[in-house]
Amino acid sequence: MNDTRKLAKYLAGLGYGSRKEMEVAIRRGRVTGWGEEVRFDGEPLDPAPGMVLMLHKPAGYTCSHQDQGRLVYDLLPPRFLKRDPKISSIGRLDADTTGLILFTDDGALLHRLISPKSDIPKTYEATLARPLEGHEAALFSSGTLVLRGEDKPCLPATLEVTGERIARLTLTEGRYHQVRRMFAAAGNHVETLHRASFGSLVLGDLTEGEWRLLTPEERARLG
C-alpha cells in the first residue's frame, strides 16, 4: 500500500483519525513499514475490516451505542468505535447478564449469526431464586413452551441441572430475555445469568472486562 491517499483512507477506516489527519501522520513519519508490515507509531495496525472479537461482559453494562450509563463499547479501545464499517455486538446480553459476547465490523457475518436460521447453540449458567422442581428439563425440551406475550413456541432447549438452584440451559434462539422468561414460565426467577459459550467458543481464561480477537481458525468456524 504505497499510495499515500489510499493508505490514509485505510487508516481512517480503522479509526486512527480522519483522512486529513492520517495524511499528516504519514508525512510526519508516524507510519512506517511501507510495503512490508505497516505500523502506526511503531505499533502493528489494528485488524483489517472483517475482524471478530470476544468480550467477557461484566454485569452493569448495556449492549448499546446510545443508552445512558455504562456501555459494553466503553470496554473496547476508543479507536474501534471510529472504524468504518462500524463495529457492533453480535446479538445482545441484558445489563445484568455476564459472559461471552462477540463483536464484528462484518455486517454480513453479523446478520448471518443473529438470523433465526443460524441454529447456533448458546449455553447460559443460571442461578435461581428457588430450588428446581424436576419438571423444567422436560418443559424446555418439549418444543411446546409459549412465553408470555407470544404465540410461537420456543424451540427445544437442553437443561442440565448442576446444583439445587443452578442449571445450564442451551438454546439456539435469541428472543428478548429468553432464558429469564423461560424460567419464569416454569415458576422460578433467575437471580444471576452468565453466557458460558457461543457455538464452539468459550471464554477460557478471559477475565471480566477483557477482550481478545478471535483466531483465524475460530473466525472460520463461525462461517
φ/ψ (deg, to 5) at 114: -95, 0
The DSSP output letter for 171 is: E
Which residues form the catalytic set?
94
> Which three cell numbers mark 8?
490514509
The DSSP output letter for 34 is: T
Look at residue 89 and give its three-state secondary structure. strand
Given a contact cutoff of 8 angstroms between Cβ atoms, the answer to whether 84 and 13 are in contact is yes
Respond yes or no on whether the N-terminal peptide bond of residue 85 is cis (omega within 30° of 0). Answer: yes
